[in-house]
């Protein structure tokens, strides 16, 4: 091989070496374009409806279900109102009045009928009583003298010493003297009664609620109320009820009253239902009688739960009843183990659960607590649980 041939061969090799990287770059670029087109077809070129589900489907969720059945449930209504004495007796000064000398009771004390609550100075009245008593004695002495004179005249009239007319005059004098005794005695009794009225007394047995008089105070019949007494210590709750709820309450209905700020409840009974409705508030009053308890204070605020009767309905735990903007509902599990939404109408909510007035027969399998995480038609695995009665 001559020198010229060798140089030409080296030049051809150099040309081939420069073209090799370009060819590889073109091949790689073509492969990238093909891959991009394939990916675009895979993502956008196929029908989405025909795309297979790639997510793995897990097992059906397990839910606890209960069959509530039907049972007698007490219908109740809730109301609020003020506590007060069932019969409140305002006590004042019934007599002429005067200076109060003693106050013998305090609020919270029990008193008996006729017990003295306060006394009023009676020095003037005592002197007047002494004067009237003396007048009674004078009248009696006059009557005795008139009787004696009549008897002597009767012995002399037969002898002719005095006339029959004198006997008649002495008889009239005797009768007038006896009449004056009665007048004086009546005046004395009246004064005694007026003096007795100076004492402020309890009209009946009960609990003293308020005292508005102090020793040294001047009182009279115009002074107003000096004491307030709850007759027999009996209390009541004047419960405010809507027009609809009031129609369901009857005299004799039982009630449970809980004062505000207390966790203790007291049993009572409706003794009066208001015959009228306030046209402004559309409410009426049910008066609930209560026995005296230290925790029941007149003027306090309390809540009452009144029993209006019984209904035969399903009773569900509160966790089973859901609600949204369309109303209350529950989830039930049908025969194909699919969750179905069922709208319901609820009644009273008690410690035992929620009364279902409409929407369930009681034989359904109701989801107990996982309803918020279910969708209508979703397949579930129900696990039965018995309800506590």
* Structure confidence by residue, pLDDT tens digits, 329-352: 999 999 899 999 999 988 777 778
Spatial separation of the C-alpha atoms in residues 89 and 72, rounded to whole Å: 43
Query: 357-364 long-range CB contacts below 8 Å, 24 or more apart?
Result: 357/311, 357/313, 359/330, 360/68, 360/314, 360/330, 360/332, 361/70, 361/314, 362/67, 362/68, 362/69, 362/70, 362/313, 362/314, 363/67, 363/69, 364/67, 364/68, 364/332
pLDDT band at 8 (very low <50, low <70, confident <90, very high): very low
Higher pLDDT, 196 or 34: 196
Predicted local distance difference test score (pLDDT) of residue 268: 93
Highest mean pLDDT among 23-32, 123-132, 328-337: 328-337
Instruction: Name 386's Cβ contacts closer than 8 Å, sequence gap at least 6.
Output: 66
3 state SS of 85: strand
Q: β-pairing, 62-66 with 381-384?
A: parallel
Residue 208 in contact with residue 107, Cβ under 8 Å? yes
Residue 367: CA count within 13 A, CB half-sphere: 29
Task: Please give the angle made by the CA atoms of 327, 331 and 336, to the nearest 5 degrees.
Answer: 145
Predicted local distance difference test score (pLDDT) of residue 41: 57
Spatial separation of the C-alpha atoms in residues 367 and 321, rounded to whole Å: 9
The two three-digit tokens of residue 292, written as one number: 């005296």
Predicted local distance difference test score (pLDDT) of residue 6: 46
* Structure confidence by residue, pLDDT tens digits, 29-80: 666 666 666 665 555 554 444 444 334 456 888 888 999 888 887 777 889 9
* Structure confidence by residue, pLDDT tens digits, 138-187: 999 989 998 988 888 888 877 777 788 888 888 999 999 999 999 999 99
What percent of the chain has pLDDT above 70? Answer: 85
CB atoms within 10 A of CB 303: 16
DSSP H or E stretch at residue 342: strand 339-343
Higher pLDDT, 303 or 34: 303
The pTM of the whole model exceeds 0.75: no
The two three-digit tokens of residue 327, written as one number: 């109303």
| CA separation, residue 349 to residues 24, 77, 318, 354 (Å) | 80, 10, 8, 5
Predicted local distance difference test score (pLDDT) of residue 185: 92
């Amino acid at each position: 091989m001559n020198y010229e041939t060798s140089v030409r061969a080296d030049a051809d090799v150099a040309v081939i070496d420069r073209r090799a990287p370009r060819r590889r770059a073109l091949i790689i670029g073509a492969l990238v374009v093909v891959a991009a087109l394939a990916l675009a077809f895979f993502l956008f070129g196929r029908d989405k409806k025909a795309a297979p589900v790639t997510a793995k489907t897990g097992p059906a969720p397990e839910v606890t279900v209960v069959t509530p059945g039907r049972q007698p449930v007490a219908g109740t209504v809730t109301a609020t109102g003020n506590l007060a004495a069932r019969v409140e007796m305002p006590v004042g000064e019934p007599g002429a009045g005067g200076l109060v000398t003693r106050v013998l009771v305090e609020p919270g004390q029990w008193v008996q009928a006729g017990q003295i609550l306060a006394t009023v100075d009676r020095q003037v009245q005592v002197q007047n009583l002494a004067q009237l008593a003396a007048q009674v004695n004078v009248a009696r002495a006059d009557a005795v003298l008139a009787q004696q004179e009549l008897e002597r005249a009767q012995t002399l009239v037969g002898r002719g010493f005095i006339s029959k007319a004198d006997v008649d005059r002495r008889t009239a004098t005797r009768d007038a003297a006896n009449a004056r005794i009665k007048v004086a005695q009546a005046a004395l009794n009246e004064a005694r009664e007026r003096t007795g009225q100076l004492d402020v007394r309890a009209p009946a047995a009960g609990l003293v609620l308020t005292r508005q008089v102090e020793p040294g105070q001047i009182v009279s019949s115009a002074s107003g109320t000096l004491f307030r007494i709850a007759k027999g210590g009996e209390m009541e709750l004047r419960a405010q009820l809507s027009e609809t709820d009031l129609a369901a309450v009857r005299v004799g209905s039982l009630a449970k009253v809980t004062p505000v700020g207390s966790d203790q409840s007291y049993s009572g009974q409706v003794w009066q239902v208001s015959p009228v409705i306030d046209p402004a508030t559309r409410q009426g009053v049910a008066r609930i009688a209560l026995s005296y308890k230290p925790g029941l204070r007149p003027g306090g605020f309390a809540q009452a739960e009144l029993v209006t009767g019984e209904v035969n309905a399903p009773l569900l735990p509160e966790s089973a009843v859901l609600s949204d903007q369309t109303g209350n509902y529950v989830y039930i599990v049908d025969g194909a183990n699919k969750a179905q939404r069922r709208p319901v109408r609820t009644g009273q909510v008690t410690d035992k659960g929620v009364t279902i007035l409409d929407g369930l027969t009681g034989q359904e399998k109701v989801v107990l607590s996982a309803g918020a995480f279910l969708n209508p038609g979703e397949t579930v695995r129900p696990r039965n649980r018995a309800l506590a009665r």
